[in-house]
Amino acid sequence: MEATGRTLLVLGGAFLILGLVFILLGKVPLLGRLPGDIHIKWGTGSCYFSLVTSILLSIVATIVLNLIVRLLRK
């Protein structure tokens, strides 16, 4: 039971941090409107593909997670 409680606490903390990151990312100017992001409009509809933003966030997440893993291994 103790291990389950710790796991739930860690997951809850991870969700808290992830929620804060999403809130803060919404306030970053130009994020989601970078050159290379595709916005298609037609009639009353539109479609948005944030390709460059996704690649940039993926690179940043990879670097951060690699640093965390390296620090935890020591």
Asked whether residue 23 falls in the same domain as residue 35, the answer is no
Domain hosting 13: range is: 1-29
How far is it, in rounded angstroms, from Cα 43 to Cα 68? 47
Beta bridge partners of 46: 41
Please name the residue that has the structure tokens 């050159």.
Answer: 35
Asked whether residue 37 falls in the same domain as residue 57, the answer is yes
Asked whether residue 35 falls in the same domain as residue 51, the answer is yes
Asked whether residue 20 falls in the same domain as residue 39, the answer is no
9-13 mean pLDDT: 90
Domain count, the chain: 2
pLDDT-based confidence at residue 63 (cuts at 50, 70, 90):
very high
Query: Phi and psi for 31 in degrees, rounded to 5?
Result: -70, 120
Please name the residue that has the structure tokens 């990151």.
Answer: 21
Q: What is the pTM of this model?
A: 0.60
